[in-house]
Structure 1
Amino acid sequence: MLTIFYILLLIKTGRCSDHQIFDTKNVAVGQNVTLNCFRDRLWHSTNLFWIRLASQSFPEVLGSTISHDVPTIRKIHNITTKQEPGTFVLHINGAQLNDTAVYYCIKESQQTMTFLKGTFLRVKGPDPGITGVTQDSLSNPVHPGDPVTLQCSVLSNSENRTCTEDHSVYWYRAKPDESHPSLIYSHGNNGNYCERSPEAASQQKCVYSFSRNVSSSDTGTYYCAVATCGEILFGNGTKLDIEVVRHWDLTNTVVILLCVALSISLIVIAFLIYTIKEKHKTSGKNSYFSKVKYSETFDSLTYGAPTFTKRNTRKAERRNTRATETMCIYSDVRAFEYGKSDA
């Protein structure tokens, strides 16, 4: 039947009737509910459907019938659909919380679908009387090892309370790197202290505290959850940011000094290599120019041959000596001009 309904949706888009009815019903858990949809037995080739649209689920066909009188009855769990004079009835026996949904009555005729009636049915469980769950934020910065106390206030009103079940308080932590919040603490049903409002005796405030010495891994958002009467109420959350103080230690000092010493050593080594290379270049040039200068100096020397006469200083020797001995030193004069060949 569900497949036929989907095929009909693909054949032609439905429309709303000229006198469509949409209403809302609020019922308590366990209460019986009856929904009526108009049916005319004179309609030809006409089918009627009751469907349910619930949150996070596909449409569900609860029952179907034809327009003329046929005693058809269909039952799914606690839901019964059947014909009654001039109507197509949907009956819920003892409504439960999961029966909360939108119920549509649809008429299909000649491949045309018409929405005749829509009803939003809300099934409410017992009222725990809780009017609010609040959490206080942290004003001072938190460091690793600091004690932190988180507080959750549960406000309730006993006048509206129809559920006698006590509530329990849980603490959850949500972290960016985790897909699901994790349960970290449970209070049970005993608060740290409760006080009644001086303005109205029926109003009460209970405060639940959670304390611990935090570490850097405790960063996240902490939620207070109150579970009672089949419901879970969450607080607004308290964000815990932990500031990690970086302490300077001896290891860091040694590492930095070694890096500085290594850098200085590399600079000195590079400077020495550069100085040695420059010194070798200068020494080679000086050797070359020394050889050239020596050659120029040698080629430009002037040679002379002076003659010295050796004479005795004694008078007797000067008189007796006839011949004079001479010593000759020969010299040569040579002219050299740099850049020109010898003549």
Structure 2
Amino acid sequence: MFVIFCFLLMIRVGHSTDDQTFETKSVAAQQHATLECPREKLLNSDKLYWIRIISGHQPELLGRTTVLDDERVHKTPHFTTKQENEIFILHIHQTQINDTGLYYCIRTSWDSITFLRGVFLNVEGPQSFVYRIIQAPPSVAVHPGESVSLQCSVLSDSEKKTCSEDYRVHWFRAGSHQSHPSFIYTHGDNKECGKSSQKCFYSFSKKVIVSDAGTYYCAVAACGEVMFGNGTKVDIKSKFRIFSW
């Protein structure tokens, strides 16, 4: 039965015949969320389920109960389902960004499946005051011994700042044989900003050798978060030419 109504869920997502049975709900990350489903008391063996569908994952059963009065509480560290009066409750403790998805309450009987309530839950995380990082150029080719100059533009909105410290700009390099970027430089206060100070420019220059080839990333650390730019690929050309006769 569970496999059957999981399949029905997937083909019915996004459709509702009654606007009162589907809603959207937004909560901030780390807050609790409570979803309610009507529970009509019937003298039969029908069951109620809370199901969650998250993009890229299989449908997940979060809790179940009967339409008859049942005082049992089903609890995990993250979810609690229980009956209260004439409703079936799903409580999500300290929501996380990956809790965003579709939540369905379903009633099943021996010959039918009824969709009682659908909720699209959107869990919102804190928005950083640094909202864009632009690197230029996207790629560059130089010879060993020559200098390469990379630029990074940081766009920010001080009104959305949630900490007292200013952001810091760092540079990392990912070589072709490296599993992760390596740290190479941190900017001090040597930045060039526009009149509004919402867009600041940072430049990084160095003389290169053959082993300096790779992708260089501008990274901004702000209020406990680290954001990376799109990267600049640096190719090192050989100074030697091969002549064929």
What TM-score, normalized to structure 1?
Answer: 0.58
Aligned residues: 239
CA displacement at 1:155 relative to structure 2: 0.9
CA displacement at 1:24 relative to structure 2: 3.2
In structure 2, relative to structure 1, the CA distance for the partners of 1:134 and 1:67 (3 Å cut) is same
**Which of 199, 203, 206 lines up with 2:200 in the alignment?**
206
Corresponding letter in the other structure for 2:229: G
CA distance in 2, matches of 1:173, 1:43: 67
Q: Secondary structure at the match of 1:14?
A: helix
CA displacement at 1:84 relative to structure 2: 2.0
Q: Secondary structure at the match of 1:241?
A: strand
Q: Does 1:219 align with 2:193?
A: no
Which moved further from structure 2: 45-54 or 163-172?
163-172
In structure 2, relative to structure 1, the CA distance for the partners of 1:68 and 1:94 (3 Å cut) is same
Match of 2:40 in 1: 40
Match of 1:242 in 2: 236
In structure 2, relative to structure 1, the CA distance for the partners of 1:231 and 1:43 (3 Å cut) is farther
CA distance in 1, matches of 2:211, 2:114: 58
Is the 1:14–1:112 contact (alpha carbons within 8 Å) kept by the matching residues of 2? Answer: no
CA displacement at 1:29 relative to structure 2: 2.8
Match of 2:153 in 1: 153
**Which of 188, 191, 194 lines up with 1:193 in the alignment?**
191
CA displacement at 1:80 relative to structure 2: 1.8
Unaligned runs of at least 5 residues, structure 1: 1-6, 257-343
What TM-score, normalized to structure 2?
Answer: 0.77
Q: Does 1:65 align with 2:65?
A: yes
Q: What whole-Å deviation, never above 9, does each CA across 1:188-226 have from its counterpart, x for those lacking one?
A: 7x453253x43xx4x523333333322334333322233
CA distance in 2, matches of 1:240, 1:213: 12
CA displacement at 1:48 relative to structure 2: 1.6
CA displacement at 1:33 relative to structure 2: 1.6
Unaligned runs of at least 5 residues, structure 2: none
Indicate the RMSD between aligned Cα atoms, in angstroms.
Answer: 3.4
Q: What whole-Å deviation, never above 9, does each CA across 1:317-342 have from its counterpart, x for those lacking one?
A: xxxxxxxxxxxxxxxxxxxxxxxxxx
Is the 1:40–1:67 contact (alpha carbons within 8 Å) kept by the matching residues of 2? Answer: yes
- Which of the pair is proportionally richer in helix? 1
Question: Sequence identity, in percent?
Answer: 44
Q: Does 1 or 2 have the higher relative contact order (CA < 8 Å, sep 6+)?
A: 2
Match of 1:184 in 2: 183
- Which of the pair is proportionally richer in strand? 2
Q: What whole-Å deviation, never above 9, does each CA across 1:101-136 have from its counterpart, x for those lacking one?
A: 432323322264444333333333333211211111
In structure 2, relative to structure 1, the CA distance for the partners of 1:145 and 1:127 (3 Å cut) is same
Is the 1:62–1:76 contact (alpha carbons within 8 Å) kept by the matching residues of 2? Answer: no
CA distance in 1, matches of 2:125, 2:212: 36
Match of 1:105 in 2: 105
Is the 2:140–2:234 contact (alpha carbons within 8 Å) kept by the matching residues of 1? Answer: no
Q: Secondary structure at the match of 2:143?
A: coil
